[in-house]
A and B are shown apart, each in its own frame.
Chain A
Amino acid sequence: MSLDHSPVHPGPAHHTPARPEDLVEHDRVQTPLYEDAALFEQEMEKIFAHTWVFVAHGSEVPEKGSFVLSWVGQQPVIVVRDRKGDINVLVNRCRHRAATVCEVKKGKTSSFQCPYHGWGYGLDGSLRGVPYPEQYGKDFDKSTLGMKALRVDSYQNMIFATLDDGIEPLAEFLGPAKKWIDLFMKQGGGYPVKVLGEHQFTVPMNWKIQLENTTDAYHFPVVHKSFIQSLDKEAEATFNFFDKAGFVEDLGNGHSVAVMIPELVDLDENLDDPIPERFEELAQALRDEGFDEPRVRKIVRATGGAGFNLNLFPNVSLSLAFFRVLRPVGVKETAIRHVCLGMDGGPAAANRMRIRLQEHFQGPMGFGTPDDAEVWERVQRGTLGGKELPILVNRGLVDEVPGVDGPRGHLSAETGMRASYQMWKRMMAQ
């Protein structure tokens, strides 16, 4: 199909809601995807209420009673570890009059109590007691009035929840993405992976503009030129992706992987490679702490994170040494978390270095994030012009080949976006 062909001329969104099946073709998508409020409402129902949504990493709720606030689509939830050590994901809403029962972002507790009328809930969401229950009469059945609990599953300590009891198990949904998650977690360097902190910011853009970004390596040398130039020559070469044997591959179910630094795909391999100059000081600090050379090399190699980006539909990406979590706030508003990962129980010097690397690129004042945020906002702003023009996702179709798990393209190909949009189309058609 030629690119000047443009089959859809959507009218104003408030007059005729766009039909999802008309908006996504293999090589292009249509503008209403970014700005149609009615379509956004459908997405919350058809996608976010019927898929596995990442809510937290297990290290954020390490002990019995630990909790952290999170979101499933637009619904506020509490992720909490109960007395048995099980993880519960509870809708943050009292069953009585709907007040949130918790507004503390994270912490430890033995129960949740609604501040309005005092209804008390256990860590599994069960209703424990209500003040003055007599007025409810003898038939009052507390067992039916617990906080709404979502179905929960986890993989490699990444916790996902869903509002749909009927969908496939998480492992099946992740499919071929699982082996990439396994590789990603090798950055623990022999220690469990732990959340060290996070950067949070909002961008006035549709959530799918971010969804497209993590396995889009095409933008990296352009948008992140100032980051690349701030590195030493060796690191600059590491981030010079297109000279290498990288690729981007569709992993099914909307997931995709972009291999940017092939030599850093498996962090347990190539341990005899020379230590990059920027990690030399860390290596020496570890030697001084008494780590033997093989351990030093394993930890140092893991410290910079994995050499690929994995995008899990619909709301979480795994990139370098962080998770990128998106939350749709409104049709033109998206909240992003960049969750910094470290080595649980690992050497402080290595975790410190990871934190400094995170600060260098991520967050509202990083050398990378503000430039991403700017171009994402520019996409949203530009969408207002020429609404009939399609958004192109055709790059790399020309030499895409079958990969191990799905279509595989040049690292700069838009294979990842095509993967996401085909899943979007499939879910929206339900």
Chain B
Amino acid sequence: MSGITTVDKDIDLQELAAFVWREADILDRCDYDAWLALWTEDGHYIVPIGKGENYEDQVNVCYDDAKMRRMRVERFQQGFSISSAPPADTVRTVSRFVLQGATGDEIVLGCAEHVVENKFGRQRIYAANLTYTLVRTDDGLRIRNKVARLLNSDGELTAFSYLF
């Protein structure tokens, strides 16, 4: 994140961390309706490939606007996608929070995520750098954009039945 702007002294990192941890808990519980409710309508959930940042014009692992987020959740919930019924069990930890900037009501937060998945009696581990663009609304914090950059994003991955 370039161009760190004035950081509001009132921003409480603990509050932001608690929000992200709540999201992590929601994702581990596959409570996707609750997850959708964390978003503003205009943002994107992106898992990019490589280092590029022109997400719109590059091939990403996923690049979801609100419509695709809803479709993705529907797919998870309908129960006949063989890869997500049942999904892998996951436990994730999110840490190393760094406030990257704040402008107006928008806050950019970076952090690290580890996800351990369990399926077929086999455990796999993934690590990602997460960048959140959060906004303050009358209903509390909401996610406008979330970029999950996997450590091996331009390498060989495996099929995922969950979100990062």
Contacts and interface: CB of A to CB of B under 8 A. Distances in A.
The DSSP consensus for interface residues of chain A is helix
Nearest to A362: B59
Interface of B: 47, 49, 56-63, 68, 71-72, 74-75, 78, 80-84, 120, 154-161
24 contacts: A199-B157, A200-B155, A202-B157, A203-B158, A226-B81, A335-B156, A340-B59, A351-B57, A359-B59, A359-B60, A360-B68, A363-B157, A364-B157, A364-B158, A365-B160, A366-B62, A367-B75, A369-B159, A370-B81, A370-B159, A370-B160, A371-B82, A374-B159, A381-B120
Interface residues of A, number: 38
Contacts of A370: 81, 83-84, 159-161
Given A199-B59, A201-B158, A340-B59, A226 B78 contact: yes
Interface of A: 105, 196-203, 223, 225-227, 229-230, 335, 340, 348, 351-352, 355-356, 358-360, 363-367, 369-371, 373-375, 377, 381
Contact of A365 (B58, B61, B74, B154): B61
B156 to A, nearest CB: 5
A358 B83 contact: no
Q: Kindly name the residue among A226, A363, A374 whose own CB sees the greatest number of chain B CB atoms within 10 A.
A: A226
A227 B76 CA distance: 11
Contacts of B68: 360
The DSSP consensus for interface residues of chain B is loop
A371 B84 CA distance: 8
Given A355-B57, A370-B159, A223 B82 contact: yes
Nearest to B122: A204
Nearest to B158: A201
A366 B78 CA distance: 16
B120 A348 contact: no
B73 to A, nearest CB: 11
Contacts of B84: 226, 370
A371 B59 contact: no
A367 B75 CA distance: 8
A363 B62 contact: yes
Contacts of A363: 59, 61-62, 157
A377 B59 contact: no
Nearest to A226: B81
A371 B63 CA distance: 19
